[in-house]
Amino acid sequence: MHTSALVLFSGGQDSTTCLALALSKYERVETIAFDYRQRHSVELEARLRVLEQIKLQFPQWAHKLGDDHMLDLGVLGQVSETSLTRDVAFKMESSGLPNTFVPGRNLLFLTLAAALAYRRDLQVMVTGVCETDFSGYPDCRDDTMKAMQLALSLGMDKRFLIETPLMWIDKADTWALTHTLGGQKLVELVIEHTHTCYLGDRSHRHTWGYGCGTCPACDLRKKGYEKWIRAAA
């Protein structure tokens, strides 16, 4: 029986939903984030507000929420020529992948998360990767997660579980899951305090949250919210 988890927590919609799910399941939950010099570094500030609000608004979870960890991964920004680490326009590359793809990002995140989980004696790593509603990122696929789980468990001689609760659902279903876990109060927390926009825009407030409204991340979040609202009506 698993009793502890480490959530890869960026402060975005998906990772906040994953955090709420982990808090509903496990006795001890810690969080980890990475500063890789992302353009939308405002998410690193947003995540602290989300953690604070979860403790304030959901006292039944507050005592389960343990230490938060931030790792400096500036080296990833140094080796990544992408639109998330450089001031360039979003576009599709000749490879068929969008230039928002940061090669090796999730592989590195999970490796370092596993090292921390090993030291902190945390059994499960929870990440918000998704194969249903994604941009073709190869490091978000279910096969990649299974391979990483096996490699990390073998390489550290410790049985890890990588949990991907959003893998087979779309963004509308993610909004629905948020509501199931914490009702409208959690939905409002996600809208007001999480950050998704790739451009780091916190000046424009929409019904679904803050953002530029046009980047790929905002577009996905907006369409998912509108689909969920229609389905719930």
Mean predicted confidence (pLDDT) in 144-164:
97
pLDDT in tens, 123-146: 999 999 988 765 667 888 999 999
Cα(80)–Cα(82) distance, rounded to whole angstroms?
6
State the pLDDT at residue 132: 76
Question: How many beta carbons lie within 10 A of that of residue 87, not counting itself?
Answer: 7
Q: How confident is the model over 45-53, as a mean pLDDT?
A: 95
Enumerate the β-bridge partners of residue 161: 124
pLDDT reported for residue 77: 65
Q: Who contacts 104 (Cβ-Cβ below 8 Å, separation ≥6)?
A: 76, 79, 139
Mean pLDDT over all residues of the chain?
88
| Helix, strand, coil percent values for the chain (each to nearest 5) | 50, 15, 35
pLDDT at position 53:
98
Q: What is the band of 91 on the pLDDT scale with cuts at 50, 70, 90?
A: very low
- Look at residue 161 in the predicted model and tell me its pLDDT: 98
Determine the longest span between alpha carbons in the chain, in angstroms: 49
Is the pLDDT confidence value at 99 over 90?
Answer: no
Two tokens, residue 146? 């299974």
CATH 3.40.50.620 fits 4-196, yes or no: yes
- Band (pLDDT 50/70/90 cuts) for residue 74 is confident
User: What are 187-221's pLDDT values in tens digits?
Assistant: 999 999 999 898 889 999 999 999 999 888 899 99
Q: Evaluate if residue 40 carries a pLDDT over 70.
A: no
Q: Which two tokens stand for residue 132?
A: 């249903």
Q: What is the pLDDT of residue 39?
A: 58
Higher pLDDT, 200 or 57: 57
The pTM score is 0.89
In the predicted structure, residue 154 carries a pLDDT above the cut 60: yes
Domain parsing of the chain, residue ranges: 4-196
Judged on CB neighbours under 10 Å (0-12, 13-18, 19+), 72 is exposed
pLDDT for position 193:
97
Give the pairing type, strands 161-163 and 124-126: parallel
User: Which pLDDT band, with edges at 50, 70 and 90, does 81 fall under?
Assistant: low
